[in-house]
Structure 1
């Protein structure tokens, strides 16, 4: 279905990432989408990440609510509170942000945003102590203060003229430099996901996979040079640098990004924002990788291993 839509609407106008089982974008979620937040209450630092495809230029909504009553019908005459209502008016080229508590709407905020039918979208809502941060296409576009405490959110509801690729809650507050052990080591088949925000004056950042005292793999993003360099360090000696040959430097200051590193038998495979960016052949046995460190000019929003 998605492939037909892309062909009809001419997606040569905007680069579209390829669905891939490694990146986890090989399935779609039904719309309308309603999900209860299971487990612990939401914590400051967490983000909901919503990705999908615009089908028609009508509208779609993302609501964070305190209950499952999200649409009026014969049995439902009152809706649960919408602590955040994100409404994309595709024809009007605007995003409307508001909250509705006990039937009363608050003060609406508006953000200009143009999407065409057939384009993909990436929306992130990050929770803080007193406000939401709203990211659209990896750019911070708005901040929205809470009307009710964060812990009141119990459900997320999405509806409209879209196809959903993924909906996920992840992240917390991280310190940088960041360091963590890798339980069971980074054997082939494992994945590392990193979500982060590049600072306004970002110059560089590193992601290092440690094998004891050695660094089995380093990803080094250099903003002034617009280069991504890969390397290893064995017995305190750095090897020969390898540059990832990408069409354009994928990291931008004041924008967030997703980095995925997938371990294969003979190499690491690197994806950035779901796009394949290159690979790096193993020089040191990856099965000995037992620690991860991240440092540089970024704000970490999510780190997890699979």
Structure 2
């Protein structure tokens, strides 16, 4: 399982914490306590809480990647031996398990921080898999708790593993091709001065593009289209809001249904795109290009 958190550090911050907890009650064990502290001797503290007592602190002072007024992206990648923490796409720390990770049932975020999105990839129940489920959280400082899901085997189609920090332009095959209820997740960052980027769902045998998803920063538009038989179709531009801005992270989830694609950005439904290629099962490739930095692709 991997947990991705995007947020913003306010100027008045003192500290915040991300806790992988073993219960949703005061005094519950904490398998992993991740705690950046802004106190003039900026550092990140790592610890666990078990049986009513804190364990031995581990600290990292040589590199403090959090900055007041700036965005951040945290990735917690759970392995058999540790929590691996990546910050802004770079490996940061490994915290060896002190409590069996199977005991963890919720995520508690507290302190002086604004959370914009939370995504859980993978997890649960011996054979079922998750393509990436956006879990929208309210913006706060304060406190927020998110139960971590478990999934009975077979409830969801088995997905490919996440691809971390892929290059741009990116082209990859969709394992097993497109199918109903399949979700593709693309996460990344829009740099300052960006003009546009695109995500294309392609048919390798014909080079058709079943869905062209194209945020255009200079036009303040999000264009959707298809290219079938060598020709572009009519553009679709209507959206209730435009979530794409320079110098911000994004989380795009595109879910394939029987009649349409459903597109979510940062946990909120943005638009639908009715299938123009009726044989959508022929879609077998994903292409991402333009002015964008990618942090994750998940099929």
> Into which bin does the TM-score normalised by the smaller protein fall?
0.5 to 0.7
Unpaired runs of at least 5, structure 2? 8-14, 48-55, 78-84, 111-142, 150-160
Aligned residue pairs, count: 217
**Superposed counterparts of 1:56-205, under 5 Å:** 61-62=17-18, 85-87=34-36, 97-99=43-45, 103=57, 107=61, 112=68, 124-125=74-75, 134=87, 150-151=93-94, 153-154=96-97, 159=108, 161-164=143-146, 171-205=163-197
Q: Quote the offset at 1:99 in angstroms.
A: 3.4
For residues 59 and 298 of structure 2, the distance between their equivalents in structure 1, rounded to whole angstroms, comes to 37
- Contact persistence 1:177–1:293 (CA under 8 A): yes
TM-score normalized by structure 1?
Answer: 0.56
For residues 232 and 216 of structure 1, the distance between their equivalents in structure 2, rounded to whole angstroms, comes to 5
TM-score normalized by structure 2?
Answer: 0.58
- Contact persistence 1:244–1:279 (CA under 8 A): no
Aligned position for 2:11 = none
Q: Quote the offset at 1:294 in angstroms.
A: 0.5
For residues 4 and 37 of structure 2, the distance between their equivalents in structure 1, rounded to whole angstroms, comes to 16
- Contact persistence 2:36–2:45 (CA under 8 A): no
Aligned position for 1:269 = 262
- Contact persistence 2:184–2:255 (CA under 8 A): yes
Change (3 A) 1:266 1:170: closer
Aligned position for 1:259 = 252
Larger relative contact order, structure 1 or 2 (CA cutoff 8 Å, min sep 6) = 1
- Which has the larger displacement, 183-192 or 99-108? 99-108
CA-atom RMSD, angstroms?
4.4
- Contact persistence 2:35–2:46 (CA under 8 A): no
For residues 260 and 100 of structure 1, the distance between their equivalents in structure 2, rounded to whole angstroms, comes to 31
Please state if 1:303 is matched with 2:297.
Answer: yes
Please state if 1:214 is matched with 2:224.
Answer: no
Unpaired runs of at least 5, structure 1? 1-36, 38-46, 53-58, 114-121
